[in-house]
Amino acid sequence: MIKTFFVSDLHGKLDRYEKLFRKIYTDRPEIVLMGGDLLPSGIILHRKYDDIHTDFINDYLIKEFTKLQTDLQDEYPLVLLIMGNDDPRSEEYKLLAAQEKGLWHYLHMQKHFYKKYLFFGYASIPPSPFLLKDWERYDVSHFLDVGSISPADGYRTFPLSSTEIDHNTIARELGQLFGETDLFNAVLIFHAPPYQTDLDLTAQEGVLVDHVPMDPHVGSIAVKRLLEERQPYLSLHGHIHESARLSGSWKDMVGKTPCFSAAYDGAELALIEFDLDDPFTARRLLL
């Protein structure tokens, strides 16, 4: 048995992190996976967010994971994480620096082999109505959903050339990440959910923009196609907080691939726990 925790979209909420740390202390998972949107909102990240901390990664995340590592010693879990669309990429270097200390593995556009499993991470999402564009890419073409803002607009905290913005797509980057790798034993950690599933449903049904209806499904077509064509062992997602409430499910299947989302629109921490050797044991806890 490989006890595994998956969380996503904590958005810098200290109460959620404290619940996560307590659960790690009591249950001692072997692996902790974190699916992006880990930091306070990009708009407020550089403001003082409580009476003690001003730098969330250095003052809180690194400090608390270091304490956990010191306390648990050999029982410290393998921690794999990515960022999400609400996490300013200007903070990425801090996560990479902490990786050198052995606190976690930063997985965006990377892979990590553990036991018989191969983990991959990918942070970017398709174009959205949000203004922070560090982690947005065109999906499979330059088509924009109604109500979305182009990746060429909005603002960025990490510079990209106009060529990179115009020519990068999620489909292209997934091709670079996975190549011809056999994904039979692969665990994929995406921030974006796959398109037209129970994991990407929003409350946009019937909403019109300039008399044109918005698509209530906002997941990635490229991610969906990858899952359909390559059938990885497991796929994990976040991003759309309300989807489980609207669709009635935090999990779905794409072919034979089980897909879970830890995004949640309530006040609690949504934690998915499962035996990695048998992901169909998964259950979602609201803590």
pLDDT tens profile 186-207? 999 999 999 999 999 998 766 6
Q: Please state, as a whole number, how many other Cβ atoms lie within 10 Å of the Cβ of residue 7.
A: 27
d(CA 102, CA 100) in angstroms, rounded, equals 5
Segment 123-134 shows an average pLDDT of: 96
pLDDT at 211: 64
3-state secondary structure of 9: coil
Burial 115-151 (b: 16+ CB within 10 A, else e): eebbbbbbbbbbbbeeebbbbbbbbbeeeebebbeeb
166 vs 44, residue with greater confidence? 166
30 vs 216, residue with greater confidence? 30
- Per the structure block, which two tokens stand in for 58? 């250095």
Segment 5-33 shows an average pLDDT of: 98
- Per the structure block, which two tokens stand in for 204? 């946009």
According to DSSP, residue 216 is labeled S
- Per the structure block, which two tokens stand in for 265? 């629109």
Q: Is the pLDDT of residue 44 over 90?
A: no
Give the domain ranges of the chain. Answer: 3-286
139 vs 50, residue with greater confidence? 139
pLDDT at 146: 82
Beta strand residue intervals within the chain, DSSP E: 3-7, 31-35, 78-82, 105-106, 110-114, 117-122, 186-190, 208-209, 212-213, 234-237, 251-254, 257-261, 270-275, 278-286
Q: Is 211 left (phi over 0), alpha (psi -120 to 50) or beta?
A: left
pLDDT at 280: 96
Strands 270-275 and 234-237: unpaired
Query: Of 3.90.1560.10, 3.20.20.120, 3.60.21.10, 3.30.360.10, which CATH number belongs to 3-286?
Result: 3.60.21.10
pLDDT at 203: 82
- Specify the range with the lowest mean pLDDT, choosing from 9-23, 40-54, 168-182: 40-54
